[in-house]
A and B are shown apart, each in its own frame.
Chain A
Amino acid sequence: MTQLPDGRFVDDAPYDPQASVLELERKDLDAPNWVLIWRKFKTHKLGLVSGAFLLICYLLLPVVGFIAPYGPNQRMSEHLYSPPQSINLFHEGEFLGPFIYPMTSEADLETFQWVFEPDYNNPMKLDFFCEGKGYNIAGLIPSDTHLFCAPEGATVFLWGSDRLGRDIFSRILFGAQLSLTVGLIGISVSFVLGIFFGSVAGYFGGKIDWVINRVIEVLRSLPELPLWLALSAAVPSNWSPVAVFFIISVILGILDWPGLARSVRAKFLSLREEEYVRAAEMMGASSGRVIRKHLIPNFMSHLIASATLSIPAMILGETALSFLGLGLRAPAVSWGVMLNDAQNLASIEIYPWTAIPMLPIVVIVLAFNFFGDGLRDSLDPYQQ
């Protein structure tokens, strides 16, 4: 820094008006695409939090049996419709560690309901890493260790129990396994179909394009739920729960692809005219190769974003189908199956906790929406 005779300060370093600006931009331009996307996505706080939350949820799926204190279909016949119990730390001002007050049940012969009364004089400490109902980690490794369970002679129903005396908290955890994967399988089906039909229509054009376009229009103009209902009604009732689960996810996917195919087609129509496509064709690349190697990578990220945004619809779809009794069936556990219990006003009024499975649904669907929005906003790193 030097001071000129007239009093101004001037930097000594040589000044190049072009260089500094270019250097910054060069760095950005040379960074791989995902770095740019990540950099932009990080500024989208809501999307970031939702993404992290979803990641944790999916990572926990294989070990839900460990977290849940009970098995999904384990019945406590003494505790039908037990209200939620809380885990406390202090008993009469004294720190005890996590404990619960045991519930005693008594039949009210006037209303024919069970009345549950917590016994406030008898705090019972929770057991940790205890043995309980057996389960399989990731469906493969058998184990019977639980993170926490109820002490002898007491129950721990964090979110109450349902009409058969099953723990709702545990069932929600086990239900997540099906409810969360239904969307993934469905979206894979819709993804494959959408990319295939969309790219064929967009790349070849002409008659094929016309036919596929009409099919898309017809499917898009039909209400989804009645068709889902009709298709699921066709699933034979003697199939195993696993088979039903797969076929239901496929059904959800089959009706979802037209939207995706439409955007794929639109992209293809514009990309088809690009020079690099012409160049690849001139060099003798087959159309399959051009589609796979040159066109699809170009908008894969867009597709992933729109796929993320349509997963919630599938989760809600499964819930609706199971709720109506045409989707997954007991003994399978999913959030929709659980909500089947909350189907009438009486149960919502008397046992409001049977509607708790709705909370995870709302949270997951919101998370997927925010995550997808964030993803979509950060996909074009070069655009402000």
Chain B
Amino acid sequence: MEILRYALYRFGTMLLTLWVVSILVFVIINLPPGDYLSNQIAELRASGQSAGVAKAEFLRSEYALDKPLWQQYFIWVGFMPGPHGFSGLVQGNFGWSFEFDRPVAEIVGDSLWLTVLVNLAAVLFVYVVALPLGVLAAARARSWVDYTSAFVGYLGLATPNFLLALILFYYGHRWFNLPIGGLMDPAFEGEPMGWEKVKSILIHLIVPTFVIGTSGASAMMQRLRANMLDELGKPYVETAVAKGMSPSRMLAKYPLRVAFNPFVADIGNLLPAMISGSVLVSVVLGLQTIGPTLLTALKTQDMFLSGFVLMFVALLTLIGTMISDVLLVLLDPRIRYEGRDA
């Protein structure tokens, strides 16, 4: 029951953080001078098209852009009745995209799930790669395994994500005949889920997962290696070896369990960086996640669209961090329930 209470507490703090984030996001999307509609109105006036002006003016009042900023914020979030009563993010109305002239929910649609999928795959990749390599690098410290993994790790940290993506795509296509661009075969777009579609998505995921995960995996691996090395020097390890335990069994049974905690806790630091990376990589590789949508929305000052995408990206990280916190408590009974560094 204790764990449930903690999970609830963690959920509460997450909601609070999300609320602060919403203020931040609203300020940021309102930073550019003017808004999409007033710019459009000015443009229409300048070119003498009065018909469009009326429509834009109508939209302006429809989306409460003529109200003072603080009211706009409350209407956007859904804490205050707008022109159509309570209808904001909280109520599930994500706003209107002026650029595409369609509701935001319709535009982002599928890409939300694909975003979650890409990031999930990357997180899995990080764990699957970092865990064995980190343990191996520690157990065989100062051997070729150690040095090679450190070298590859450094390269992964230093190469800009987007270039790695381009290069891997190019060579992946040339040598392994991996598909280029996108997250699925164009034929499957808009089709219902099926075995073939899943297979197509999986094959398309290989390169993006690798690109997004590499820098995270190398950082994670280095940390696991350092933690393991700390543990390996302790007397209990010596005792276990002296008593004749096989090295692999000894590693898995004692030091790994101790070194594993920071490994789980670290996801909180890792996730923001990885989601950043996925946005960038999606733009370069043309994945149907919300990365490219965000970029166009920001460039055209489509504020509701960019605001929603920013909120979604933040929500994704917050949920990920929350899950890792709860997992950590489950894993390690020594951790106090009040929070990590209170």
CB under 8 Å from chain A, chain B span 152-195 = 154-155, 157-163, 166-167, 169-170, 180
Contacting pair B158 A230 (CB below 8 A):
no
Contacting pair A225 B280 (CB below 8 A):
yes
B134 adjacent to chain A (CB < 8 Å): no
Given contacts A234-B32, A236-B33, A320-B162, contact A223 B273 (CB under 8 A): yes
Q: In the bound complex, what is the Cα–Cα distance between A344 and B170 (angstroms)? A: 10
CB distance from B167 to the nearest CB of A (A): 7
Q: How many residues of A contact B (CB 8 A)?
A: 39
A365 adjacent to chain B (CB < 8 Å): yes
Q: Which residues of A contact B301 (CB under 8 A)?
A: 233
Given contacts A218-B17, A343-B284, A348-B170, contact A358 B160 (CB under 8 A): yes
B29 adjacent to chain A (CB < 8 Å): yes
Q: Which residues of B contact A362 (CB under 8 A)?
A: 155, 158-159
Q: Which residues of A contact B169 (CB under 8 A)?
A: 345
> Which residue of A230, A316, A319 is within 8 Å of B29 (Cβ)?
A230
Q: In the bound complex, what is the Cα–Cα distance between A221 and B319 (angstroms)? A: 10
Q: In the bound complex, what is the Cα–Cα distance between A345 and B33 (angstroms)? A: 36
CB distance from A64 to the nearest CB of B (A): 22
A156 adjacent to chain B (CB < 8 Å): no
Q: In the bound complex, what is the Cα–Cα distance between A312 and B170 (angstroms)? A: 26
- Provide the B251-282 mask, 1 if CB < 8 A to any CB of A, else 0: 00000000000000000110111011101100
Contacting pair A348 B321 (CB below 8 A):
no
Given contacts A218-B24, A224-B273, A320-B280, contact A229 B294 (CB under 8 A): yes
Q: In the bound complex, what is the Cα–Cα distance between A233 and B296 (angstroms)? A: 10
> Which residue of A324, A344, A361, A366 is within 8 Å of B154 (Cβ)?
A366
Contacting pair A234 B31 (CB below 8 A):
yes
Contacting pair A316 B160 (CB below 8 A):
yes
> Which residue of B17, B159, B269, B277 is within 8 Å of A358 (Cβ)?
B159
Chain B's interface: helix, strand, loop or mixed, by majority? helix
Q: In the bound complex, what is the Cα–Cα distance between A348 and B168 (angstroms)? A: 11
Q: In the bound complex, what is the Cα–Cα distance between A223 and B212 (angstroms)? A: 13
Q: In the bound complex, what is the Cα–Cα distance between A224 and B317 (angstroms)? A: 11
Q: Which residues of B contact A222 (CB under 8 A)?
A: 21, 24, 272, 314, 317
Given contacts A218-B21, A226-B313, A369-B157, contact A324 B163 (CB under 8 A): no
> Which residue of A223, A224, A355 is within 8 Å of B163 (Cβ)?
A355
Q: Which residues of A contact B294 (CB under 8 A)?
A: 226, 229
Q: In the bound complex, what is the Cα–Cα distance between A231 and B31 (angstroms)? A: 8
Q: In the bound complex, what is the Cα–Cα distance between A349 and B331 (angstroms)? A: 49
Contacting pair A230 B310 (CB below 8 A):
yes
Closest to B320 in A: A221
Q: Which residues of B contact A35 (CB under 8 A)?
A: none
Closest to B29 in A: A230
Contacting pair A221 B321 (CB below 8 A):
yes
B20 adjacent to chain A (CB < 8 Å): yes
Q: In the bound complex, what is the Cα–Cα distance between A326 and B21 (angstroms)? A: 22
Contacting pair A229 B32 (CB below 8 A):
no
CB distance from A362 to the nearest CB of B (A): 5
B295 adjacent to chain A (CB < 8 Å): yes
Q: In the bound complex, what is the Cα–Cα distance between A221 and B32 (angstroms)? A: 24
Q: In the bound complex, what is the Cα–Cα distance between A214 and B24 (angstroms)? A: 13
CB distance from B86 to the nearest CB of A (A): 26
A117 adjacent to chain B (CB < 8 Å): no
Contacting pair A229 B17 (CB below 8 A):
no
Q: In the bound complex, what is the Cα–Cα distance between A227 and B306 (angstroms)? A: 11
Q: In the bound complex, what is the Cα–Cα distance between A234 and B314 (angstroms)? A: 19
A281 adjacent to chain B (CB < 8 Å): no
Q: In the bound complex, what is the Cα–Cα distance between A366 and B153 (angstroms)? A: 11
Q: Which residues of A contact B159 (CB under 8 A)?
A: 358, 361-362
B298 adjacent to chain A (CB < 8 Å): yes
Q: Which residues of B contact A349 (CB under 8 A)?
A: 170
Contacting pair A224 B32 (CB below 8 A):
no
> Which residue of A319, A324, A361 is within 8 Å of B283 (Cβ)?
A324
- Provide the A199-226 mask, 1 if CB < 8 A to any CB of B, else 0: 0000000000000001001101111111
Q: Which residues of B contact A314 (CB under 8 A)?
A: none
Q: Which residues of B contact A218 (CB under 8 A)?
A: 17, 20-21, 24
> Which residue of A223, A230, A365 is within 8 Å of B317 (Cβ)?
A223
- Provide the B196-220 mask, 1 if CB < 8 A to any CB of A, else 0: 0000000000000000000000000
Contacting pair A225 B166 (CB below 8 A):
no
Q: In the bound complex, what is the Cα–Cα distance between A218 and B25 (angstroms)? A: 12
Q: Which residues of A contact B306 (CB under 8 A)?
A: 230, 233
Q: In the bound complex, what is the Cα–Cα distance between A366 and B156 (angstroms)? A: 10
B309 adjacent to chain A (CB < 8 Å): yes
> Which residue of B24, B31, B160 is within 8 Å of A320 (Cβ)?
B160
Closest to B28 in A: A230
- Provide the A302-330 mask, 1 if CB < 8 A to any CB of B, else 0: 00000000001000100110011110000
CB under 8 Å from chain A, chain B span 24-75 = 24-25, 28-29, 31-33
Q: Which residues of A contact B32 (CB under 8 A)?
A: 233-234, 236
- Provide the A230-248 mask, 1 if CB < 8 A to any CB of B, else 0: 1101101000000000000
CB distance from A292 to the nearest CB of B (A): 27
A342 adjacent to chain B (CB < 8 Å): yes
Closest to B164 in A: A358
Q: Which residues of A contact B284 (CB under 8 A)?
A: 343
B77 adjacent to chain A (CB < 8 Å): no
CB distance from B234 to the nearest CB of A (A): 18
Q: Which residues of A contact B28 (CB under 8 A)?
A: 227, 230-231, 234
B318 adjacent to chain A (CB < 8 Å): yes
Q: Which residues of B contact A320 (CB under 8 A)?
A: 160-162, 280
B299 adjacent to chain A (CB < 8 Å): yes
Q: Which residues of A contact B33 (CB under 8 A)?
A: 236
Q: Which residues of B contact A231 (CB under 8 A)?
A: 28, 31
Q: Which residues of B contact A316 (CB under 8 A)?
A: 160
Given A218-B21, A342-B166, 11 other A-B contacts at CB below 8 A?
A: A221-B272, A222-B314, A223-B271, A226-B275, A226-B276, A229-B294, A230-B310, A231-B31, A312-B157, A326-B295, A358-B160
Report which B residues bind A (CB closer than 8 A): 17, 20-21, 24-25, 28-29, 31-33, 154-155, 157-163, 166-167, 169-170, 180, 268-269, 271-273, 275-277, 279-280, 283-284, 294-295, 298-299, 301, 306, 309-310, 313-314, 317-318, 321
14 A–B contacts, CB within 8 A, in A order? A214-B20, A217-B17, A218-B17, A223-B273, A223-B314, A227-B310, A231-B31, A233-B32, A319-B160, A320-B161, A320-B280, A344-B166, A358-B160, A365-B157
